[in-house]
Amino acid sequence: MLLPRLRSYIIRKTLVSLLNLLRLIHRKAQTFVLFFRMSKPTSDLENQFSAPSPPPFDPTQPAVPISYPIKTLEELESRSYFESFHYPFNKASVALQSASSSLPLPNRPRVIVCHDMVGGYGDDRWVQGGTNPNAYAIRHWYLMDVFIYFSHSLVTLPPPCWTNTAHRHGVKVLGTFITEWDEGTLICNKLLSTEESALKYAKCLTELALALGFDGWLINMEVELKSSQIPNLKVFVSHLTQTMHSAVPGSLVIWYDSVTTDGKLNWQDQLNEKNKPFFDICDGIFVNYTWKKNYPMLSADVAGDRMYDVYMGIDVFGRGSFGGGQWNTSVALDVLKKDGVSTAIFAPGWIYETNQRPNFQIAQNHWWALVEKSWGIAQNYPKVLPFYSNFDQGHGYHFSVDGEQVSDAPWCNISSQGFQPFLEYTDNSTPDGIQVHIDFREASYSGGGNITFKGKLEDNAIFTARLFQGDLLLGDLPLHFTYSVKSENNSQLGLCLNFSSALKEIKSVLLVSQNLNQFSSKFNKVIMTRQLEKPGTSSGWVIQESNISMSGYRLTEINALCYQSEPEFDERRQNSLSEGQDNSCSQNPTDYYAVLGHISIETFGHNSGFPPSDLWLVEGQYIKWTTGSKGSKNLSLKITWKLKDGNDYAFRNYNIYVEKLAEDARGHPGATLGVHEYLGVARVEAFYVSDLEVPSGTSNIKFIIQVSGVGGSSQKLTESPVFLLDTEAW
């Protein structure tokens, strides 16, 4: 607990000395405790109640899938990771957007975000999701170019949830290779013993990145080296860069400003002759964060035409960073932007770890708004079709599919993040206006979040809020828009779309459910949407759809537009709502309240159908039964599925359900013991079920794999592939 508390105040060089001292104290304390335990008599009572030590982690055995690092060179060299039960679950399933996958980074100052939080592998280690509804997640992907997952293990492999959601937003993802302390010195002695060993381990790192689907490495050699080891270190960095570029086009290898060309562990805080030889053989340098005001300009001069490959570090905790980090991070950003270099923001989780007020959501939005004000937007979306967002941030208190809540259990899974909206931060200093925020408590149309618009709106007034800033070139076929709205009283919600021609001509198109004559002059075109009839949606969601033809134009902005319906229209709308709908969010007549559940954009006529269930091969593996309570049993197994024709269709995810069936009088599977139960979501074609309680009297267990398309639609449960397990056969 001591180091986390001191973290905000200790610079790196002080931390090195402090940790060496603490390690010595720790070793002495372990020796004393061991002697004390050996010399202390143990009573029979202690023997009776002492709990056995848990068995060591065995990655080859079936278990709830987790992400974990590689800690030794022996483990890296042996390729034992690929024999792990967890390996197939850790493959990223979302490729970079096609527009940015194999291209170099843009020719401008860029932003790296390096995630460092309490050693890594926290809530994000649970590949199939955890149970913390307040788990940490980043949502401001549109403000960054590269994401690095950092920990202090030798080989830090990014959990697939980070790679999936970063790739969805066009952001590249890097793992970390780090050597530090005495152990790091021993590792380097082996790694750099020969040119062949350097080549071998570089190849191993490339193989891991390719297999797991991430985009490169941060190399951090924080140990003193012998000058004779430097040539092989250069071989290692150079070969890793070359093999990564060959295996993963568009990949990156970034050098951290630590050891110098003479082998000294001496952070330079700038690009200079002592670290430039490493910079010259890779894709960029992450400069240590204790730089002075003139160092960015000096570094840019040394880099020449590669100035944007210089990433000046900023530690958000402060710890000697220029400007002090924390709420003053933009002080450093302003200097870097002016001097024409890039930045690497280290540990933005400071907001979460230090419980910044008033709460994490507001504080995070405020902090990133300062970054946006200083640096601007780095990503645009939509860029490609289909485009779908349910505004899910990857955690929540319930989970919905197509407007129906399927689980009320708290959860977290960053892979579930939809495209995150470009919501603008406001300080709520004018509470009488419309407030816009992501809501995790209110019912969702899909996943566990939505965008809520709440406040007061004057008669005949409108309010707009930025949702997305895109760069989508339209072809000859029309766009098909679908979005879900849940509102009360006369509150209405539409979409305002901005398009730009090759000649920079701007056109605005309004999608609304009723004609707004009083506002039509503000837009180039007003299109009436159609209400989509969707059987089974009884929770108050209204689905609107419309087609738009704007061939040759680019879709540049999507905004939400809040307005109030005319009285006669509102009366018709209320009469059309079926009885039994959820009116729990009813507001006063003068109040405005509307919820946006999702947005989907596809090319008109796009086939969003799913393969029939009989085209899937579904299997159960590692089936294990244990005894439960009151005659029940517990079941664990791995379920896998694949299409029999071997085709690789683009599916967003798979929702997993279970039904427990009882025998009828003739001994055949009959009545369902309760409704189908939602188990979780899979991003790969496998899901592990752990300790599922099976009541006595259950004859068969049916697992349902509901396929979800990239456009947001989901296959009907009755038409989804299944795996049927006969309990009597086990």
Mean pLDDT within 175-203: 98
Question: What is the DSSP pairing of strand 591-603 with strand 450-456?
Answer: antiparallel
Grade residue 200 by pLDDT with cuts at 50, 70 and 90: very high
Question: What is the DSSP pairing of strand 669-672 with strand 651-663?
Answer: antiparallel
Place of tokens 């460092």: 116
For residue 433, what pLDDT is reported?
86
How far apart are alpha carbons 430 and 626 in whole angstroms?
59
Question: Which string of b and e fits 633-667 if b means at least 16 CB within 10 Å?
Answer: bebbbbbbbeeeeeeeeebbbbbbbbbbbebeeee
What is the 3-class SS of 135-190, one letter each residue? Answer: CCCCCCHHHCCEEEECCCCCEECCCHHHHHHHHHCCCEEEEEEEEEHHHHHHHHHH
Residue 63 above 60 pLDDT?
A: yes
**Torsion sign across C-alpha atoms 435, 439, 443, 446:** positive
Give Dmax over CA atoms of the chain in angstroms: 89
Grade residue 566 by pLDDT with cuts at 50, 70 and 90: confident
Grade residue 49 by pLDDT with cuts at 50, 70 and 90: very low
Residue 586 above 60 pLDDT?
A: no
Mean pLDDT within 45-56: 55
Tell me the pLDDT tens digit for each residue of 344-382: 999 999 999 999 999 999 999 999 999 999 999 999 999
DSSP class per residue in 385-453: SSEEE----SEES-EEETTEEEE-S-EE-GGG--PPP-PPP---S-TTS-EEEEESSS--SSBT-EEEE
Question: What is the DSSP pairing of strand 399-401 with strand 395-396?
Answer: unpaired
User: What is the domain partition of the chain in residue ranges?
Assistant: 73-96+108-375, 387-565+588-603, 613-726
DSSP 323: G
How far apart are alpha carbons 338 and 300 in whole angstroms?
11
Ranking 187-196, 453-462, 474-483, 537-546 by mean pLDDT, the lowest is 537-546
DSSP 552: T
Q: What are phi and psi of 463, to 5 degrees?
A: -135, 130
Phi-psi region of 69 (alpha: psi -120 to 50; beta: other; left: phi over 0): beta
What's the fold here for domain 73-96+108-375? TIM Barrel (3.20.20)
Residue 61 above 80 pLDDT?
A: yes
How far apart are alpha carbons 404 and 33 in whole angstroms?
56
255 within 8 A of 219, measured Cβ to Cβ: yes
For residue 669, what pLDDT is reported?
53
pTM: 0.91
For residue 99, what pLDDT is reported?
56
Mean per-residue pLDDT of the chain: 89
Written as one letter, the residue type at 58 is D
DSSP 630: T
Ranking 340-349, 686-695, 720-729 by mean pLDDT, the lowest is 720-729
Number of neighbouring beta carbons within 10 Å of residue 319: 21
Place of tokens 């994401």: 147
How far apart are alpha carbons 658 and 673 in whole angstroms?
11
Of 426, 446, 461, the C-alpha closest to 592 is: 461
Q: Which numeric CATH code is attached to 387-565+588-603?
A: 2.60.120.260
How far apart are alpha carbons 498 and 509 in whole angstroms?
6
Q: Going by C-beta distance under 8 Å and a sequence separation of 6 or more, which residues neighbour residue 183? A: none
Mean pLDDT within 445-466: 93
Extract the tokens encoding 700: 């068969």
Written as one letter, the residue type at 99 is A
146 within 8 A of 113, measured Cβ to Cβ: yes
Residue 271 above 50 pLDDT?
A: yes
For residue 164, what pLDDT is reported?
97
Question: Which string of b and e fits 567-597 if b means at least 16 CB within 10 Å?
Answer: eeebeebeeeeeeeeeeebebeeeebbbbbb
How far apart are alpha carbons 127 and 400 in whole angstroms?
20
Q: 3-state class of 702 per DSSP?
A: strand
Alpha-carbon distances of 96 from 19, 168, 245, 617, rounded to whole Å: 39, 6, 15, 28
How far apart are alpha carbons 704 and 710 in whole angstroms?
19
Residue 653 above 80 pLDDT?
A: yes
Which H/E stretch holds residue 561? strand 554-564
CATH classification for the domain delimited by 613-726, as one of 3.30.200.20, 2.60.40.10, 3.30.1300.10, 3.40.50.2300: 2.60.40.10
